[in-house]
Amino acid sequence: MFDRLLLTGAAGGLGRVLRPRLKARCRVLRVSDIADLGAAGPGEEPMPAPLQDKAAVMALLQGVQAVVHLGGISTEHAFEDILPANIVGTYHVYEAARVHGTKRIVFASSNHVTGFYRQSETIDPRMPVRPDGYYGLSKAFGENLAQFYFDRWGIETVSLRIGSSFPEPVDRRMLATWLSYDDLERLVWAALTAPAVGHTVIYGMSDNVTTWWDNTPARHVGYRPRDSSEPFRAAAEARQPAIDPTQPADLYQGGGFVTRGPF
């Protein structure tokens, strides 16, 4: 059990999923977002804070043992929209962790860091990044920031290149990228509690039959998925009977992100 954990982006889609699950594993869960956090439950500590506000983020990390950092814009936008929360804000989180002595961060990166690899390829976390947009670029920055803060100050991070975490996969692409909510919890908890991670990058996916990602270099994190997209295959293929491999969204791992914009 942790004494106090911080969950940023707690009002977002995955934040709402993880909020009760993380609260069950710590004495106090500090939750933050700029959106409405709702009523605080027992053992919750709401602290709204814009990530681009350095003083607010500095206060947010005071007294925190570890951080699950989901905060920021989670889809493709213009660079001017991405910059304040995803780039400046992530720097503020790491700098506040340094000042307050927080030693473990779980960083919500994204599969869009490598979205310009083809769906016919299998890649692992050690391969060069190929962002598919400004959002993926911001997550690549966050991973580099994590490496720097570990090398310089010993702050450990597991960067989760999250695939598609929804109740079920809705198309053929998600048969490869799907991450169940239960496996998401298993992944985050493994990232928080693994004995030594340095800076480790791991893809967030369930135990899917179709896969583009090889997590072998991150096995020391201890994440072992238990769910699979396979029970949903027939429904996903019925929704999308065919794909066109000449179209970028069907050719590249990033799907539709590879063609979004300009803004």
Q: Which residue has the tokens 């990228």?
A: 177
SS3 82: helix
- Known catalytic membership, residue 252: no
Which residue, 169, 196, 200, is CA-closest to 183?
169
Distance CA 253, CA 259 (A): 12
Which residue, 5, 243, 261, 1, is CA-closest to 135?
261
Which residue, 39, 112, 124, 29, is CA-closest to 67?
29
CA neighbours closer than 13 Å in the CB half-sphere of residue 257? 27
Which residue, 95, 183, 94, 76, is CA-closest to 135?
76
Backbone angles phi, psi at 181, to 5 degrees: -65, -40
187 is written with which tokens?
């992944």
Q: Put the strands of the sheet holding 2-8 in their side by side order.
A: 44-46, 26-32, 2-8, 66-69, 104-110, 156-162, 199-204
Distance CA 41, CA 20 (A): 9
Taking residue 38's Cβ as centre, other Cβ atoms within 10 Å add up to 14
* Catalytically annotated residue among 134, 135, 223, 252: 135
What amino acid positions are annotated as catalytic residues? 135
